[in-house]
Chain A
Amino acid sequence: MNNWLYIAIFLFVSIVMPTSLVVIGLLLGPKRPNPIKTDTYECGVQTWGETWVQFKIQYYLFALVFLVFDIEVAFLYPWAVAYKALPLFAVLEGVLFIVLLTAALVYAWRKGALEWS
Chain B
Amino acid sequence: MGLLSHPITLVADWLRNLFLGWGLSQGLTTVLLYLIAAIVVASLANAWVIFLIWFERKIVGRMQDRIGPNRVGPYGLLQPFADLIKIITKEIIFPDKADKPLYVIAPLLMDAAIVAIWAVIPLVPMVGMDFNVAALYTIAVGAFATLGIILAGWSSNNKFALVSAFRTVAQMISYEVPTVLALLVPVLLAGTMSLQGIVEAQHVWYIVLAPLAFVIYFIASVAEVGRTPFDLLEAESEIVAGFHIEYSGMLFATFYVGDFLHAFTIGMLGAVLFLGGWRGPGAEAYPLLGLIYLWIKAFVVYFIGVWVRGTLPRLRIDQMMNFCWKFLTPLALILLVEAAVVDRLLLGFTPWGRGLVHLAINVFIGALVIAYARAYDNRRKRERPLAAKPGQYPVAHPPQPAAAEAQSD
CB of A54 to closest CB in B, whole Å: 11
Given contacts A29-B92, A59-B170, contact A41 B246 (CB under 8 A): yes
Chain A contact residues: over half helix, strand or loop, or mixed?
helix
Residues 58-102 (chain A) with a chain B CB within 8 angstroms? 58-59, 62-63, 65-66, 69-70, 73-74, 76-77, 80-85, 88, 91-92, 94-95, 98-99, 101-102
Indicate which residue in A6, A28, A66 contacts B119 across the interface (CB closer than 8 Å).
Answer: A6
Query: Which residues on A sit within 8 Å (CB–CB) of B93?
Result: 33, 37-38
Residues 27-42 (chain A) with a chain B CB within 8 angstroms? 28-33, 35, 37-42
0/1 per residue, B8-45, Cβ < 8 Å to A? 00000000000000000000001100110111011100
CB <8 Å contact, B38 and A13: yes
CB <8 Å contact, B333 and A102: yes
Query: Which residues on A sit within 8 Å (CB–CB) of B259?
Result: none
B240 at interface (Cβ–Cβ under 8 A)?
A: yes
Query: Which residues on B sit within 8 Å (CB–CB) of A13?
Result: 35, 38-39, 42, 115
User: Once bound together, how far apart are the Cα atoms of A26 and B330, in whole Å?
Assistant: 48
Given contacts A25-B92, A42-B158, A114-B322, contact A69 B119 (CB under 8 A): no
B295 at interface (Cβ–Cβ under 8 A)?
A: no
CB <8 Å contact, B89 and A39: no
Chain B contact residues: over half helix, strand or loop, or mixed?
helix
CB <8 Å contact, B162 and A116: no
B215 at interface (Cβ–Cβ under 8 A)?
A: no
Of chain B, the residue at the smallest CB distance from A86 is B344
0/1 per residue, B353-393, Cβ < 8 Å to A? 00000000000000000000000000000000000000000
CB <8 Å contact, A17 and B30: no
- Quick one: which of A39, A40, A76, A88 has the most chain B CB within 10 A? A40
Query: Which residues on B sit within 8 Å (CB–CB) of A77?
Result: 135-136, 184, 187, 193
0/1 per residue, A3-15, Cβ < 8 Å to B? 1011101111111
Query: Which residues on B sit within 8 Å (CB–CB) of A19?
Result: 108
Of chain B, the residue at the smallest CB distance from A82 is B191
CB <8 Å contact, A29 and B157: no
B318 at interface (Cβ–Cβ under 8 A)?
A: yes
Q: Which of B50-58, B174-182, B223-231, B286-294 contacts A (4 or more CB under 8 A)?
A: B174-182
Given contacts A17-B46, A51-B157, contact A95 B322 (CB under 8 A): no
CB of A75 to closest CB in B, whole Å: 11
CB <8 Å contact, A73 and B180: yes
Of chain A, the residue at the smallest CB distance from B87 is A25
0/1 per residue, B158-176, Cβ < 8 Å to A? 1110100010011001101
CB <8 Å contact, A6 and B34: yes
CB <8 Å contact, B169 and A52: no
B131 at interface (Cβ–Cβ under 8 A)?
A: yes
CB <8 Å contact, A9 and B340: no
User: Once bound together, how far apart are the Cα atoms of A81 and B16, in whole Å?
Assistant: 35
CB <8 Å contact, A10 and B162: no
Q: Which residues of A contact B (CB under 8 A)?
A: 2-3, 5-7, 9-15, 17-19, 21-22, 24-26, 28-33, 35, 37-43, 47, 51-53, 55-56, 58-59, 62-63, 65-66, 69-70, 73-74, 76-77, 80-85, 88, 91-92, 94-95, 98-99, 101-102, 105, 109, 114, 116
A-B contact pairs, 8 of them (CB 8 A): A12-B38, A13-B39, A13-B42, A28-B89, A29-B91, A38-B96, A62-B321, A77-B184
Closest 4 CB pairs of A and B: A25-B250, A14-B115, A116-B318, A10-B119
